[in-house]
Amino acid sequence: MSDPLDTVFAALADPTRRAILTMLLEDDMAVSDVAEPFDISLAAISKHLMILGRAGLIVQEKRGRVKWCKLQPDAMRSTSIWMQGFGQFEPVNLEAFERFLAAEFGDTGGL
């Protein structure tokens, strides 16, 4: 997928990736902390993080020996602008997005 819009929508299509974004709304997290609540392998989480990174939704950086993940909310700006073209969508409001994700996936336990 070369279209950035396609890449963002494809990344958001998976419930695990949406749950990860919900967790990252709170704060940056170490990869191991991102993986902890999921019943999948660290390798699988790494693949999800790679997809989110390719979509520009997160960035990962090494701090010492730990890899950290950080949400990049501006990556959804083009998606929001595209949806506004239909006249029935408001710009992405991160607080509303957080509430939606919390309702969809439940409380992340303050992660």
Q: Which two tokens stand for residue 34?
A: 């991102």
Residue 109 in domain: no
Residue 25 in domain: yes
**The CATH number of the domain where 55 resides is what?**
1.10.10.10
Residue (of 79, 74, 89) closest to 10 by Cα position:
79
pTM exceeding the 0.85 threshold for the entire prediction = no
Name the domain count of the chain.
Answer: 1
pLDDT of residue 48: 97
Residue 111 in domain: no
Q: How many angstroms separate the first and last alpha carbons of the chain?
A: 31
**Tens digit of pLDDT at every position of the chain (111 positions):** 468 889 999 999 999 999 999 999 989 999 999 999 999 999 999 999 999 999 999 999 999 999 999 999 788 888 888 877 777 656 667 777 778 878 887 765 544
pLDDT of residue 88: 63
Please give the single-letter amino acid code of residue 77: R
Residue (of 47, 27, 25) closest to 35 by Cα position:
47
pLDDT of residue 111: 45
Q: Which domain range does residue 47 map to?
A: 4-102
Give the helix/strand (H/E) hosting 46: helix 42-54
Residue 8 in domain: yes
